[in-house]
Structure 1
Amino acid sequence: MIRNSIFLLGLIVSMVFAVSCQPEKKAEDKKTGDTVIQRKLANYAEVKLSADLNSLSSQQIKLFSHLIKAADAIDDIYWMQAYGDKNALLNSIEDPDMKKYAKINYGPWDRLDGFKPFTEDFPPRPLGIGFFPTDINQEEFFQLNNDEKYSAFTNLTRDANGNLKVVPFNVAYSTQLQLASDHLKEAANLAESDDFKQYLLQRAKDLTSDNFTESDKLWLELNNNQLDFIAGPIVNTEDQLIWTKYSYGAFILLRDNECTNNVSKYASLLPFLQQNLPVDDKLKAESVSSKANLSIYNVLYNSGYCNAGNKLIGLNLPVGLQKASDAKRVYFKNVMQAKFNKILNPISGLVIDEQQRKHVNFESFFLNTIFFELTSGIDITNTINGNGDVKDALKGHYNVINELKNDVLRMYLLNQVHDMRQTEGIDMLDNYVTYMADVFRSIRFGVTDAQGVANMIRFYYFQEHEAFKYHKNTGTYKINDYKMEKAIESLAKMVLEIQGNGDYAAADKLIKDKGYIRNELLQDLYRIQRAKIPKDLTYDQGEKVIIAEK
């Protein structure tokens, strides 16, 4: 029944837009079109991701070359999933700026604008994109007697007679997957670590079988390799028809061992920190692990979904685990640094009180981000009053409340760690001011998802509790660190109690009262837009860049 409902919802929208993805007759005011596209391109700051490659041997550089070729094969798969015929699309676009924007978006749909077509030459984006025929209807989908249609690793296509058929990913993308597999085998022969070699060989095998269990296990156990490689299914959010099919992506990464070790020590404090939460002991009963499989990397190269639109600063892998705690959390320090330099720091120059701008720094941004992820390990999964599972009790509000919990609790825990003198050289005012500035970076993407709504709730809650003061004459915000600390504690308490009691009514009121952007804040967002501060990044990357760095 759930599957039927999900499909029907997607289909209703999809049928409205069920038209060919090939260009329509061109009808464009070139001058206006160029201006719009140039403005859209300005939303992305081009950066060359830097990393210290001095530790890599000449053999590892050769290995890197094979990993790039494998990642490029994955990139070709993602083009097929996200649009279709890459070359046909790019050859149909004459304007160089528009072509560049199509490459950034892996298609003619703007990822920073709700996947709207960025030129009238193309129709709206089909909800099933490359995973389903654009003309699919509900009746024939459910009449298809093949349960593999629900699989995360299959496409639906039509045979010569127009009937639906299920095609496994390893068949649909066999040429590209075999190419990636061959290069991984070549890379494995150059690996200096036996563990990494075995992982690459197993991944090469798994890519051609759609069964990633064995290579996932080996990857989770990797801890000492300098280079790392992630390739395969990454997310299922691109399939907006039945929210099941996975998109492919790839990362080539360089591990930052020193930073990983520094961050891991905070995870060991989680059980102690849980016992100091500002709530009743009943809400502290669930166990918390002191071991977080967490690694800090610098990105050397990415492709496919990992390179499309706004860039990831981290993710949890492998996909499809029963428990999130079993995953490895990977974070990309040089991507965070680039976003701080190109986006967050310039924003702070507009919206943060001039005297407090010195408190906005990358170290605080990095630590705030890491603690957000560590906080996800402190969960309340069952209510304490007989309302059952928290997720069931909060229904459609669960994701927002959980994001809000992670968002505010990270600062509460960070303050506790600071009081324990475990954050050498850290001034909590730095973290508070940077935390405030980051609201403006995040909400530029809107409040269409749980994280965006959670951002607005904490912003207006802090405003009500005078954690910051807005100066209309300068359009800037000044943090009151004492009131900020108290507001963080009280909001953390409120959110944890909403979860623990499964209080849907309280969650509903909080979201309705504060989960949207008010007019005064919109004016600040317009100022940021007029200042032409980018929203995200695009990369200058490739083997030539790495060799130059070396």
Structure 2
Amino acid sequence: MKKLLKPALFYVAISGFIALSGCTNSQKKSASNVNAVQKDSLIDYVAQRLPIYEKVKLTTNLNLLTVNDRKVLPLLIQAAEIMDGLFWKQSYPQRDSLLATIKDEKTRDFVNINYGPWDRLNNDKPFVAGVGNRPDGLFFYPAGLTKSAIEKSNLPDKFGAYSVIRKDSTGKLSTIPYHVLYAKELQNASSLLKQAALIADDAGLKKYLNLRADALVSDNFTASDYAWLDMKTNGLDIIIGPIENYEDKLFNARTGYEAYVLVKDKEWSKRLAKYVKMLPDLQRNLPVEAKYKTETPGTDSELNAYDVVYYAGNCNAGSKTIAVNLPNDEKIQQEKGTRRSQLKNAMKAKFDKIMVPIAKELIDADQQKYITFDAFFANIMFHEVAHGLGIKKTITGKGFVREALKEQYSWLEEGKADILGLYMVTGLLKKGELKGDVKDYYTTFMAGILRSVRFGVAEAHGKANMQCFNYFEAKGAFERSPQGVYKVNFDKFATAMNDLSAFIITLQGNGDKVAVEKAQKSAVISKDLQADLDRLTKKNIPVDVVFEQGVDVLGVK
């Protein structure tokens, strides 16, 4: 891990150097060169990159909520805001000193979007002078501590999800639990959830909020995860805490704080309820050897549709999540299942502002009619459902797949969910359980790949989509014209889908980290594809969205 320059010190040194009234001509020239480099390579870069985000206002119909729910909502948003601050401490602890040195307003905005000075949608490229490259272990581990040194250490909880590793002045390593390191902030968030629980009408929500409040200050989330899955009649929801481990690119172990504040769309949720019950049958028919599909997916899971009214922390950094499958605990998944939450309003915004313009530019004119929101919604929804299919525990005695694959786990799991989601759609269409033409789902999936690869291969979903794109291209699942327009071959698309499903499940079941590392090398963007993606940028088609959100936007106090 490369040790970073402290940005505040770098900028103080530079500004002090320029401000000296007694500078020699050579010094003034040197200072001028520094400014020129900053402007040409950084400020101009940011000015070009900032427009890739389209502003979207997060609102919902609050009239559907009870009087008490409207009182609960601001408390949940306040708790979410605390998670936002905690994620900043994880992603870039020197935020205030960094922002204090930046005079360019666009650069400040870009820092806030990325939760730090690295461009998340361009392979973590630094865009502030002096910060260096993003450490793989970010700030979960001491600067300069190698991956090998951690692996060889006798530290308890060295791969813990809810702790950091620190080194004292003597060089001794220790782990500090999150609930100790962030005690003050977590206590404040816990108190807000307790207040919300007192007001909440729904018994399930009340129980969950109380248990989640306790979990935040103990790092013991199991009871609250079960309570969250037990909620059935709630109108409001909040996903809150240290959840995903995408930020830790060293071991894929440490989790980042985040929160979603959600308003349930009960009518849409009712329409989705039937699909979870079909998981065992879909599991049995997976296109892979029998030994890789002996697990039985939980059927107590739920599919729900929500309007999201607040994003905070990890889920708000760079590309915005539009569907969630939780909890991540494999034991709970096997015993109880998961809840798949579709964030409908955010999803619709991405479809209208990004997917449709991409399809008009890159999808064959005769196939553009197959790009539909229903197919987009279903592909994303079944991506989340598909996290429950396949295999959670290796068949080679290496424990859970997550443990065996470590930092290679996240991108491959996202790739599995993508391809098995499409497999589910295909199977449900054949059974008559899903309406529409398979051409809609396949073409929309193709356009979805072209959307997601713009996130860059440093991001798990982008890497998964890039690997899928290259696999499908090799199988002839689509053709690219000399003009850079893509046309789906529907028969070969189905074959490639089955082959890639078997390939990924086998990699996971074997827990073969070396083979997965080899597979990830195919997740590269070709010159032709990059040229096509560059056309999207020149057409000012956004890559993702940034939200206007909060109590003022919603009109609640």
CA contact (8 A) 1:432 1:484 kept: yes
- Equivalent in the alignment of 2:438: 428
CA contact (8 A) 1:178 1:208 kept: yes
* Whole-angstrom CA distance in 2 between matches of 1:121 and 1:388: 42
- Report the number of matched residues: 530
CA contact (8 A) 1:390 1:500 kept: no
- Equivalent in the alignment of 2:551: 543
- Equivalent in the alignment of 1:445: 455
* Whole-angstrom CA distance in 1 between matches of 2:47 and 2:345: 26
Query: Is 2:311 the partner of 1:302?
Result: yes
Which consecutive unaligned segments of at least 5 residues does structure 2 have?
15-33
* Whole-angstrom CA distance in 2 between matches of 1:298 and 1:238: 26
* Whole-angstrom CA distance in 2 between matches of 1:542 and 1:98: 23
* Whole-angstrom CA distance in 2 between matches of 1:405 and 1:247: 22
SS at match of 2:552: helix
RMSD: 3.8
Query: Is 2:441 the partner of 1:459?
Result: no
- Equivalent in the alignment of 2:27: none
Query: Is 2:10 the partner of 1:24?
Result: yes
Query: Is 2:535 the partner of 1:527?
Result: yes
- Provide closer, same or farther for how the CA distance between residues 57 and 205 of structure 1 changes in structure 2, counting only shifts above 3 A: same
- Identity of paired residues, percent? 37
- Provide closer, same or farther for how the CA distance between residues 223 and 36 of structure 1 changes in structure 2, counting only shifts above 3 A: same
Alignment counterpart, residue 220 of structure 1, candidates 225, 229, 249: 229
- Equivalent in the alignment of 1:6: none
> Cα offset for 1:23?
4.6
Within 5 A, what are the aligned runs for 1:93-492? 93-134=102-143, 147=156, 151-157=160-166, 166-277=175-286, 285-322=294-331, 324-325=333-334, 326-380=337-391, 404-424=415-435, 426-448=436-458, 452=462, 454-456=464-466, 458-463=468-473, 466-472=476-482, 474-489=483-498, 492=501
* Whole-angstrom CA distance in 2 between matches of 1:387 and 1:153: 25
Which consecutive unaligned segments of at least 5 residues does structure 1 have?
1-13
Letter in 2 for 1:118: F
Structure 1 stretch 158-167 or stretch 228-237: which is displaced more? 158-167
> Cα offset for 1:504?
10
Letter in 2 for 1:517: I
Query: Is 2:52 the partner of 1:39?
Result: no
CA deviation profile, 1:266-297 (whole Å, cap 9, x unmatched): 22223333454556767665544444333332
* Whole-angstrom CA distance in 2 between matches of 1:35 and 1:272: 54
CA contact (8 A) 2:120 2:459 kept: no
SS at match of 1:297: strand
* Whole-angstrom CA distance in 2 between matches of 1:143 and 1:466: 45
Letter in 2 for 1:134: A
* Whole-angstrom CA distance in 1 between matches of 2:172 and 2:405: 38
CA deviation profile, 1:308-338 (whole Å, cap 9, x unmatched): 2211123333344435444433332222222
TM-score of the superposition, structure 1-length normalised? 0.83
- Provide closer, same or farther for how the CA distance between residues 431 and 211 of structure 1 changes in structure 2, counting only shifts above 3 A: same
- Provide closer, same or farther for how the CA distance between residues 450 and 248 of structure 1 changes in structure 2, counting only shifts above 3 A: closer
> Cα offset for 1:24?
1.0
* Whole-angstrom CA distance in 2 between matches of 1:138 and 1:404: 25
CA contact (8 A) 2:306 2:343 kept: yes
Letter in 2 for 1:343: I
* Whole-angstrom CA distance in 2 between matches of 1:151 and 1:381: 19
* Whole-angstrom CA distance in 1 between matches of 2:393 and 2:166: 42
Structure 1 stretch 95-104 or stretch 109-118: which is displaced more? 109-118
CA deviation profile, 1:474-510 (whole Å, cap 9, x unmatched): 4322334345345545655666677789999998997
Structure 1 stretch 165-174 or stretch 259-268: which is displaced more? 165-174
SS at match of 1:46: strand
- Provide closer, same or farther for how the CA distance between residues 442 and 174 of structure 1 changes in structure 2, counting only shifts above 3 A: same
CA contact (8 A) 1:112 1:310 kept: yes
- Provide closer, same or farther for how the CA distance between residues 61 and 357 of structure 1 changes in structure 2, counting only shifts above 3 A: same
> Cα offset for 1:213?
2.9
- Provide closer, same or farther for how the CA distance between residues 353 and 241 of structure 1 changes in structure 2, counting only shifts above 3 A: closer
CA contact (8 A) 1:18 1:135 kept: no
Structure 1 stretch 221-230 or stretch 180-189: which is displaced more? 180-189
- Provide closer, same or farther for how the CA distance between residues 259 and 460 of structure 1 changes in structure 2, counting only shifts above 3 A: same
